[in-house]
Chain A
């Protein structure tokens, strides 16, 4: 699907929701639910939980659509942030991240290769982000990935990577600083 056309469709539909247009919410659902469900499922690991959260996500979209500013954010960015936040909230409520397998950084590097299907992948933003992630050290990248995709906390990461909490915190923070500098170039 043409990404720009899709983006305009989603943004336009979001714009109609504050007036109480249910069909507009259904349009957003049709265009984005598979991606957002993938995001929820990746973090929560279980379809039942992920579907509960997906429902919360769209009820949130219904209530908060007026907050979306198409001139400042892409609609997918806004929606993905809601899906990730709701999923992480659910995960925190259940106290522990799903994926707590120990991480061997040397092995994990291979996982950095994209395995996706979405039109988003081909986007300039993704290409740029990926190039900047390549500039991180393997352990920084691994810690960041596990936080983003598995919803791990600092404590989870320290346990999985078998390093002190302060160390993993330092890796993540350093990674963020580098990432920002790289993306702003």
Chain B
């Protein structure tokens, strides 16, 4: 491109935008202008302004009906209906799904809570979380002396087993029993610990050797905890 002409009045960018909008550039220059149009907002704006200036000229072009099958070709060239193609890979879908699942869980919890309020003695629940994951949900029924624990997103460890602990404000863990990754378990709440099962206590899960801790205290890492909440 030569700059030997004095086009005082319009900057070079503006002239390039005009040439691109007019369509007068040959292949290489046109491709370069197109790439610039795609990444340079200011340049794209100049091009759009020129398109606006020139478009009314198309009034001089007679309308001509295309063959009827052109629409059919367009329709079949469109991507398949969105739910066929993108849904399972769509982040928006999974976000929505995740939200809906969360909402459903909340509704279930609310139902449990509501039903709980009807019972003469209120159970306690704890969502046992760690590392950003909800591992177990536990419900402590002090009247019956049971602790029901449902695995949520706990992945089994090949060599260790999850063990549940009740930790009252004194900070000393009391063993409640072994949990399972693949199914709900109902543990017996030992009578001597029943007094600790209150809304000021915490449930914790540690990873222990098969058979559980033999010391009466966690020997492996505590991977998740959850505060007991009165319903």
Contact = CB atoms under 8 A, between A and B. Distances in A.
Interface string A1-39: 000000000000000000010100110010001110111
B63 A34 contact: yes
Contacts of B18: 173, 176, 180
A58 B74 contact: yes
Contact of B66 (A33, A73, A92, A179): A33
Interface in B1-22: 2, 4-5, 7, 9-10, 14-15, 18-19, 21-22
A170 B61 contact: no
A50 to B, nearest CB: 8
Most buried by A among B9, B14, B19, B57: B57
Nearest to B27: A92
Contact of B63 (A77, A115, A117): A117
B70 interface: yes
Contacts of B64: 34, 37-38, 41
Nearest to B69: A51
B75 A22 contact: yes
Interface residues of B, number: 46
Which of A33, A74, A166 lies at the interface centre, i.e. has the most chain B CB atoms within 10 A of its CB? A33
A34 B21 CA distance: 22
Given A77-B55, A177-B7, A59 B78 contact: yes
Contact of A35 (B14, B19, B58): B58
B229 interface: no
Contact of B24 (A20, A78, A147): A147
B35 interface: no
B73 to A, nearest CB: 5
A104 interface: no
**A contact patch SS:** helix
Contacts of A92: 26-27, 30
A139 interface: no
A58 B74 CA distance: 7
B77 interface: yes
Contact of B70 (A51, A81, A157, A173): A51
Contacts of A177: 7, 9-10, 15
A54 interface: yes
Contacts of B71: 26, 29, 33
Contacts of B65: 33-34, 37
Nearest to B19: A172
A129 interface: yes
Nearest to B18: A176
B160 interface: no
Given A22-B78, A59-B77, A114 B48 contact: no
Interface string B70-94: 1101110110011000000000000
B60 A116 contact: yes
A23 B170 CA distance: 68
A54 B65 CA distance: 11
Contacts of A47: 67
Given A74-B52, A170-B5, A181-B9, 5 more contacts: A33-B70, A34-B65, A88-B30, A129-B53, A173-B19
Q: Which 5 A-B pairs have the closest CB atoms?
A: A120-B59, A121-B59, A34-B63, A125-B56, A77-B55
8 contacts: A25-B78, A81-B48, A115-B60, A117-B63, A120-B58, A121-B60, A151-B23, A180-B53
